[in-house]
Amino acid sequence: MPGKTGGTALVTGASAGIGLEVATVLAERGFDLALVARREEALSALAGRLAAAHDCRVAVYPRDLLEDGAPEELAATLARDGIEIDWLVNNAGVTDVGSFHELPLDRQLMLIRLNVNVLTELTHRFVGGMVDRGHGRILNVASLSSFQPVPSLAVYAASKAFVLSFSESLSEELRGTGVHVTALCPGLTRTDMVEQAKHADGPLRMAPDFLIGDTRDVAAQGVEACLAGRVVVVPGALNRLQASSVGLYPRWLVRTLGGFMSRRG
């Protein structure tokens, strides 16, 4: 990785998958880290590895961000510890595959709370300080599904469409402040969440391995895009083609093709 950047990055969902790799890339770039996830043992192990390998400070904050008041308490704890957040990486999220009317309602509402509510609250709690200081970066992990409806992933795709729209709107609001917002929109990526989804009924069962992206590469592209001030980044040539082509077709055709793929899955 070229150069050292510095500052402190808060990464949610940092114990595995894209979050873990984003934390690693940022450590390589010279950032100190504040890592958040539910799994304390995995977080502590990651913190030890990164601190030893990259001579950075890594603070661990085991949290279930779905608990009442958790984002507010996290922000208060960081302030009490004297940690200013220069980068916010909103990576924590969940998915659920299946027919909306058959999936438990509480799971769907939990997905919305984490993918939408928690992301929005954390952004609000940290972006003001970034604006006051005149610099900062926010990297929101969205999805290729942000660009289109995805039957059997109806609530997940809708939640990621929110993340993309929110990120784009906020990037324009913050123009000229020194704070930049990037939406990272990966396609299928080799994470535990995707592996579980591939074994459930739905469109992901059909996904061939060559379409599943490398987690490290996705994380690196997200960090580089955020450093460069790009607003939207879609890793992978095929994914970029799909994202750009969706707008060329009537919405009825896009959703009909999505439904066909879902039923085949």
Please confirm, yes or no, whether 156 is among the known catalytic residues: yes
Instruction: Give pLDDT, residue 238.
Output: 85
Q: Considering only CA atoms, which of 215, 240, 233, 212 is closest in space to residue 25? A: 215
Tokens 């997940």, residue?
156
- Per-residue model confidence as pLDDT tens digits over 137-151: 999 999 999 998 888
Largest CA distance in the chain: 53
Q: Are 167 and 140 in contact (CB under 8 A)?
A: yes
Domain positions in the chain: 8-264
Task: Kindly indicate the confidence band of residue 237, based on its pLDDT and cuts at 50, 70 and 90.
Answer: confident
Q: If residue 225 lies in a helix (H) or strand (E), which one and from where to where?
A: helix 215-228
Distance CA 51, CA 59 (A): 10
- Per-residue model confidence as pLDDT tens digits over 83-111: 999 999 999 999 999 999 999 999 999 99
Task: Kindly indicate the confidence band of residue 250, based on its pLDDT and cuts at 50, 70 and 90.
Answer: low
Lowest mean pLDDT among 76-80, 186-190, 211-215, 245-249: 245-249
Non-local CB neighbours of 99 within 8 Å, separated by 6+ positions: 152
- Please state which of the four CATH numbers 2.60.40.1730, 3.40.350.10, 3.40.50.720, 3.40.50.10490 is assigned to the domain occupying 8-264: 3.40.50.720
Edge-to-edge strand ranges of the sheet holding 179-184: 58-62, 32-37, 8-12, 87-90, 136-141, 179-184, 232-233
Instruction: Give pLDDT, residue 217.
Output: 94
pLDDT of 258 higher than 60? no
Q: Which two tokens stand for residue 59?
A: 């603070």
Average pLDDT over residues 12-37: 97
Task: Kindly indicate the confidence band of residue 3, based on its pLDDT and cuts at 50, 70 and 90.
Answer: very low
SS3 160: helix
The neighbouring-strand residues paired with 233 are: 184
**Active-site option among 126, 147, 156, 166:** 156
Q: Are strands 32-37 and 87-90 parallel, antiparallel or unpaired?
A: unpaired
How crowded is residue 229: how many other Cβ atoms within 10 Å of its Cβ? 11
pTM of the model: 0.87
SS3 136: strand
